[in-house]
Structure 1
Amino acid sequence: MNIGTKMALAVAAAAMCVASAVGLLVHHVTAAGQLATARSDLDRQLLAAAYDQAAGRKSAARLDPPDLPAPVSGVVRRGVRVTYLQAGSPPVLWAATRVSDRTVLALSRSYAHETDELATLDRTLVTTGSAATVAVSLAGLALGLRMGRRATAAAGTAERIADGDLHARIGPQGQDEIARLATSVNDMAEALCARLEAERRVTADIAHELRTPVAAMVTATGLLPPGPATDLVAGGVHKLRGLVEDVLEVARLDAQVACVETETRQVSAMARRAVAALDGVEVRIVADTLAETDPRRVERILTNLVTNALRHGAPPVTVEVNVETEAEAAAGTDGAGARAVVRVRDHGPGFPSDLLAVVSTSGPQRFRTSSESAGTGLGLTIAAGQARLLGARLTFRNHPAGGAEATLRLDPASPDGRTSGH
């Protein structure tokens, strides 16, 4: 139940309670006033009738009426003048007094008119209270829906920021708590955006500054005499150059300055080229298709995925090229139609639980690795960034039969040469 419905129900309950309380109060006050007025009028008529009786004049009063209620008779014979409302259909109002030791003078009249007036008043109170309750409930519902929409919009914007859209903002409205929350979320996004931008600039600047000395080191290692020490230094320098290039690639992806150059290519050909320089990798072609994409970036994605599998998994490492059926694609998140699917799987222990929890929700994070493994964590980060740039979908899971599995889905080329998805 959302906040708008809850507020509408609360306002409706409060309005109903207030209307009921006011209605009961008006009913009791009116009923008491009617009865007091009727008793006073009938008592005055009884006194007038008693004077007429004493003067020998006729009156509407009766002496010792047989239908006199027993409670009235018992009280009056003790010398008390009394008025009494006798229940019935219709009710009857009595006034009686003693005129001699054994004689009772009494007047009576129907109380149906007052009863009908009270019933009419009750119906009016019920109608007015119901209308007021409905009107107040509708006003509460409108207010609740407005607040609910604002809260939902704030939550949606916060989710977009959490998903990486750091330029998403909430338009604050009013001066209430929701407006304050919106302002706080905007301030948080601004601060987060500034910190990430500073981090990106520092990362890119460091990587750029390192390129020149690393290039000099590569040149210098080529001048060293052959030997184990030279091989060790050359290997370290090669890894350092790869790390610097990876950091620069991440910086370019973060800055969104990378360009996509699309071509129509066969998916199996891209998969084979991606693993051509890697040993211990098997490429399986279950079904092949064409995809219009940036082949260089697709190959970079697959190379990073296979390298990660070789480094952290166990052989055999397989790259399977397949095509999703229409039913399988419709069961996915976007139902975009049949797509090319490339699965990279190893037979190692699989993704550690802490790393899989991160990549399954927000995607791989740079420099974040599992607590059970070592490395910089840039390989999967670059692969995920390249996939987002291409509009492809990259997912990670542990295969039920064991091992880690990464799945890349590419939109196929349409007959007119354009992709069918993004």
Structure 2
Amino acid sequence: MEVVTVALSLRWRVAVAFGLASLVVTGLLGFATWNLASSYMLAQREQSATRQAAVNVRLVGESLRSGSDGLAELLTGLAGDPESTIALSRSDGWITVGRQVDPATLPHELIMLAEDGVPARQRIITDGVPVLAVALPVATTATTATYVELFPLLELDRTFRFLSAVLITGAAISALLGLGMGYWAARRALRPLVELTDAAGRVARGDLQARLPEQPDPDLAPLAATFNRTASALEQRVRRDARFASDVSHELRSPLTTMVNAVEVLHRRRTDMPTAARQAVDLLSADVGRFQRMVVDLLEISRTDQDVDDRALEAVDVADLVRNIAASRPEHPPTEVHAQPALVLADRRRLDRVVTNLLDNGERHGGGVLRLAVLRRSGRVRLEIDDAGPGVPPELREQVFERFARGQRAGDRGDSTGSGLGLALVAQHIDRHGGAVWVEERPGGGARFVVELPELQESPEEGLTGQLSSR
């Protein structure tokens, strides 16, 4: 049988530790308080009962010595409390007044001590009632008598129960307060760590401007400063690399245009060339074409590394855009588009590039596009592109969206291999628009590329605000 263990978070571990510590401290304090209070009150009650019994036994002794006939009335008057019991043992038997108790139920050792002239007391329970039994010898000259008085302890027992209930409740409340204070303290103490995790996550998602706020705590200030310096250095490095790629791409456009024109001239005259020269021209034409696409993609990526310009965002009907792109392609892939508009807030040029790159990927690497569908699900616009290829292995389904990642064809050359930047552009464009893109297995075999974007429900201005805040 498999045992599943659930690990508590650090915040809850600290809270539980505070709660347990509070419970232990208040529990020990309550236990000590209960012991001291109960011992003190019980000792006071025993002393009071012993003094009262001593006074009563002197009165009984005087009555016995005088031979008065009012002994029963005297005992009744001495009992006072109806819950009390007075029992007097003489040679002719027991006399009992007050709450009736069978003398045979009294502790034998207690009676024997009193008969031997030794005062004794003992806490006992008679008929379910806790009492303090005080046994004293009666000093007489003619007869031998033993005086026993039972003092009820009901009020004292109720006091003990109330005190114990109060102390237990106080310990439980203290544990809950300790748990709450521990959770609050842990939350306060871990707030910088939460901010650090959030900032690091934003950096990992591409927000290179994420920074930690300045910390007044001298123990946390170096951490925040170090993270901010690291993030600033990373941002500068990425922007420097993007600017370098952009500058290089711009500088390459002019010589690349010359090369493309020269290759076109050579390609038009390839019929007049020897076989070896024609093969060289074909290879040169394929590589120059691939080089041209790579430069264009690098320029696009350098622009994509910047934030989306809000002024370029508009309400775009994805269904209409997909229909137009599909109709303009020679192969004209089959499309499934609903009649109702599927509106998203997007940069139309970038979204057009997303669809085009996915179609190019399916045609070059997926054996052709079998299906192109636009769906609406739970406030999201979903674009599905199915191809007839072998599919993408699970271990490569995230890697294919990285720059210059061409999967199992990474070492191939030729026009059909692509630059390895098309799907990276798709991922960047969709991420900048608050959407998601992934690849999964198509039912029946092959790959299915899925793009989801938030559907535009409100006016473009309201949707812009909501979409930008969700990034």
- What TM-score do the two structures reach when normalised by structure 1? 0.71
Within the candidate set 277, 281, 304, 2:357 is matched to 304
5 Å matches for 1:323-402?
A: 323-324=374-375, 328-330=376-378, 335-336=379-380, 343-358=384-399, 364-371=401-408, 373-374=410-411, 376-388=419-431, 394-402=437-445
- Paired position in structure 2 for 1:73: 111
* 2:57–2:138 contact (8 Å) kept in structure 1: no
Q: Higher Cα Rg: structure 1 or 2?
A: 2
Within the candidate set 85, 92, 100, 2:132 is matched to 92
Following TM superposition, by how much is the alpha carbon of 1:72 offset from its aligned partner in structure 2, in angstroms?
0.9
Deviations 1:158-197 (A, max 9, x none): 4433322232345476759999987776566445434433
- What TM-score do the two structures reach when normalised by structure 2? 0.65
* 1:172–1:179 contact (8 Å) kept in structure 2: yes
Return the alpha-carbon distance in structure 1 between the equivalents of residues 160 and 404 of structure 2. 81
* 2:88–2:148 contact (8 Å) kept in structure 1: no
Return the alpha-carbon distance in structure 2 between the equivalents of residues 13 and 415 of structure 1. 52
Return the alpha-carbon distance in structure 1 between the equivalents of residues 58 and 455 of structure 2. 112
- Paired position in structure 2 for 1:238: 289
CA gap 1:219/1:270 in 2 versus in 1, 3 angstroms: closer
Following TM superposition, by how much is the alpha carbon of 1:269 offset from its aligned partner in structure 2, in angstroms?
2.2
Return the alpha-carbon distance in structure 2 between the equivalents of residues 127 and 409 of structure 1. 55
What code does the residue aligned with 1:403 have? Answer: G
* 2:46–2:132 contact (8 Å) kept in structure 1: no
Counterpart secondary structure, 1:283: coil
5 Å matches for 1:209-220?
A: 209-218=251-260
Following TM superposition, by how much is the alpha carbon of 1:347 offset from its aligned partner in structure 2, in angstroms?
1.0
Please give the root-mean-square deviation of Cα atoms over the aligned residues, in Å. Answer: 4.9
CA gap 1:318/1:48 in 2 versus in 1, 3 angstroms: closer
Return the alpha-carbon distance in structure 2 between the equivalents of residues 93 and 263 of structure 1. 95
Following TM superposition, by how much is the alpha carbon of 1:38 offset from its aligned partner in structure 2, in angstroms?
3.8
Return the alpha-carbon distance in structure 2 between the equivalents of residues 62 and 390 of structure 1. 97
Within the candidate set 236, 242, 263, 1:200 is matched to 242
Return the alpha-carbon distance in structure 1 between the equivalents of residues 455 and 205 of structure 2. 26
* 2:88–2:147 contact (8 Å) kept in structure 1: yes
CA gap 1:96/1:354 in 2 versus in 1, 3 angstroms: same
Counterpart secondary structure, 2:407: coil
Following TM superposition, by how much is the alpha carbon of 1:9 offset from its aligned partner in structure 2, in angstroms?
5.5
Paired-residue identity, %: 25
CA gap 1:388/1:81 in 2 versus in 1, 3 angstroms: closer
Return the alpha-carbon distance in structure 1 between the equivalents of residues 147 and 221 of structure 2. 74
Following TM superposition, by how much is the alpha carbon of 1:396 offset from its aligned partner in structure 2, in angstroms?
2.6
Return the alpha-carbon distance in structure 2 between the equivalents of residues 106 and 269 of structure 1. 115
Return the alpha-carbon distance in structure 2 between the equivalents of residues 251 and 123 of structure 1. 72
* 1:387–1:393 contact (8 Å) kept in structure 2: yes
Return the alpha-carbon distance in structure 2 between the equivalents of residues 45 and 388 of structure 1. 91
CA gap 1:301/1:27 in 2 versus in 1, 3 angstroms: closer
CA gap 1:407/1:90 in 2 versus in 1, 3 angstroms: closer
Deviations 1:112-141 (A, max 9, x none): 253344344335434544554554454445
Return the alpha-carbon distance in structure 2 between the equivalents of residues 383 and 149 of structure 1. 36
Following TM superposition, by how much is the alpha carbon of 1:91 offset from its aligned partner in structure 2, in angstroms?
0.8
Following TM superposition, by how much is the alpha carbon of 1:209 offset from its aligned partner in structure 2, in angstroms?
4.3
Unaligned ranges ≥5, structure 2? 1-7, 67-73, 79-85, 95-102, 271-276, 412-416
* 1:15–1:133 contact (8 Å) kept in structure 2: yes
CA gap 1:344/1:127 in 2 versus in 1, 3 angstroms: closer
Following TM superposition, by how much is the alpha carbon of 1:420 offset from its aligned partner in structure 2, in angstroms?
7.8
Return the alpha-carbon distance in structure 2 between the equivalents of residues 7 and 415 of structure 1. 45
Unaligned ranges ≥5, structure 1? none
Following TM superposition, by how much is the alpha carbon of 1:305 offset from its aligned partner in structure 2, in angstroms?
2.0
What code does the residue aligned with 2:111 have? Answer: S
* 2:49–2:151 contact (8 Å) kept in structure 1: no
Return the alpha-carbon distance in structure 2 between the equivalents of residues 391 and 37 of structure 1. 78
Return the alpha-carbon distance in structure 1 between the equivalents of residues 456 and 170 of structure 2. 67
CA gap 1:180/1:73 in 2 versus in 1, 3 angstroms: farther
Counterpart secondary structure, 2:402: coil
The count of corresponding residues between Structure 1 and Structure 2 is: 401
Return the alpha-carbon distance in structure 2 between the equivalents of residues 179 and 386 of structure 1. 36
Return the alpha-carbon distance in structure 2 between the equivalents of residues 269 and 394 of structure 1. 21
Following TM superposition, by how much is the alpha carbon of 1:263 offset from its aligned partner in structure 2, in angstroms?
9.1
- Paired position in structure 1 for 2:208: 166
* 1:82–1:97 contact (8 Å) kept in structure 2: no
CA gap 1:87/1:173 in 2 versus in 1, 3 angstroms: farther
Return the alpha-carbon distance in structure 1 between the equivalents of residues 453 and 183 of structure 2. 46
Return the alpha-carbon distance in structure 2 between the equivalents of residues 175 and 302 of structure 1. 50
